[in-house]
Amino acid sequence: NAGVMQNPRHLVRRRGQEARLRCSPMKGHSHVYWYRQLPEEGLKFMVYLQKENIIDESGMPKERFSAEFPKEGPSILRIQQVVRGDSAAYFCASSPPAGGVYEQYFGPGTRLTVT
């Protein structure tokens, strides 16, 4: 039973480029959460999605960041025109429909480096 999968595991982008981070939830999980961990900081909630719906994006920066979870395929976190301050580890978690805070399983993360 594969866990939460994220790719790429490491991503290097130059300032101004776009970054696309992908997350495939665990089998049977239809809820996806994205968190960001800046260097020397705790994880911060960014967005909560269900299939084809953004439920809560209150933790997302207002500009340049977007997320989707289409009917088919992985959830994608997209960062446009990346800046150095976007360098961080981005973790995705998934849960079954009734899981909420009690059953969030984290993927291995994508480490984004902006040069």
Partner 1 sequence: RKEVEQDPGPFNVPEGATVAFNCTYSNSASQSFFWYRQDCRKEPKLLMSVYSSGNEDGRFTAQLNRASQYISLLIRDSKLSDSATYLCVVNSNSGYALNFGKGTSLLVTP
Contact residue for partner 1 among 16, 52, 56, 80 (CB under 8 A): 56
Calpha distance 49→58 (Å, rounded): 12
Report the residue number, 45 or 87, with the smaller CB distance to partner 1: 45
102 scored as a contact of partner 1 (CB under 8 A) = yes
Shortest Cβ distance from residue 16 to partner 1 (Å)?
Answer: 26
Question: Strand locations in the chain, DSSP E?
Answer: 5-7, 10-13, 19-24, 31-37, 43-50, 53-56, 65-68, 75-79, 88-95, 105-106, 110-114
Minimum CB separation from partner 1 for residue 99, in Å?
A: 9
Q: Which of 33, 60, 69, 79 is in the footprint of partner 1 by CB under 8 A?
A: 33
Binding site for partner 1 (CB under 8 A): 31, 33, 35, 40-45, 48, 56, 58-59, 89, 91, 100-102, 104, 106-109, 111
